Amino acid sequence: MNKKVLILCTGNSCRSIIAEALINAKLDGIKAYSSGISPSGKVNPNAKKVLQNNGIWKDEYHSKKLDTLQNIKFDLVVTVCDNANETCPTFSKAVKKMHISFIDPDGKEFKEFEKTYIDIENILLPKVFDAL
């Protein structure tokens, strides 16, 4: 299939990183990237831990600005928080967009990161697959 998906959120430290990793690990033929509207510059340690616990962490995952991905032609852009949806940038090529908001686990207990992981896996992945 060879499709490219951008997962966009505000800080690119939790939800979008988890979604990127899940798509890359579980959806064949789809390559995910993530970015933040105002990237924090770091991956939340609990987001990294939940990905490590599930065996899908890669050192390439990091918080980044959208302009670092400007040369990639995306087939789908998914916003995973309301702020990113409201401030989603325009793209030079017409691209399909989807919004599915998840509660931000940042600052909460580790179990909230596990819940976010499960929610993204069960809700976002089937919708991304169907959209492509």
| pLDDT band, very low/low/confident/very high, at 90 (cuts 50, 70, 90) | low
Own/partner contacts of 88-95, CB < 8 Å, gap of 24 or more, are 88/8, 88/37
pLDDT in tens, 16-63: 999 999 999 999 999 999 999 888 999 999 999 999 999 999 999 999
Please give the model's pTM, rounded to 2 decimal places.
0.93
* Per annotation, catalytic residue among 9, 17, 19, 21: 9
* Per annotation, catalytic residue among 43, 81, 100, 120: 81
Three-state SS for 99-114 is ECCCCCCCCCCHHHHH
Set out the domains of the chain in order of their start, with CATH numbers. 3-131 (3.40.50.2300)
| pLDDT band, very low/low/confident/very high, at 7 (cuts 50, 70, 90) | very high
* Per annotation, catalytic residue among 25, 56, 88, 132: 88
* 71-97 mean pLDDT: 80
Share of the chain above pLDDT 70, in %: 94
Report yes or no: 128 and 30 within 8 Å, Cβ to Cβ.
yes
- Judge whether 14 counts as a catalytic residue: no
- Judge whether 81 counts as a catalytic residue: yes
DSSP state letters, 58-87: -TT----BGGGGTT---SEEEE-SHHHHHT
Retrieve residue 61's tokens.
Answer: 């995952």
